[in-house]
Amino acid sequence: MTNHPRKGALVAGLILIAIGVIFYLEIWYEQFSIWRIVGRYWPVILILIGLTKIYGYFSWKEPVVPDSAPKE
């Protein structure tokens, strides 16, 4: 069994926390605007997503399947 579902749960939790913090900042600080930040740094977001995908590709390990055939 791999730990990818566990990693996905961690990433989902971090994303939800980040979204909550963003909404909290938008409510309490009128000068703060997430859309201004995203509009300025959206290429960096794409680069980070791409780097994450490349890292996942190279760090993937094939699960070891036990040999079920009887040995002679």
Reported as a single tens digit per residue, the pLDDT across 13-42 is 888 888 888 888 878 887 878 888 888 888
Please name the amino acid found at residue 7: K
**Is a pLDDT exceeding 70 seen at residue 47?**
yes
Q: What is the DSSP letter of 59?
A: H
Query: First vs last Cα of the chain: how many Å apart?
Result: 28
Would the pTM count as exceeding 0.95?
no
The single residue listed with the structure tokens 């009887």 is 70
If pLDDT is split at 50, 70 and 90, which confidence band does 1 have? Answer: very low
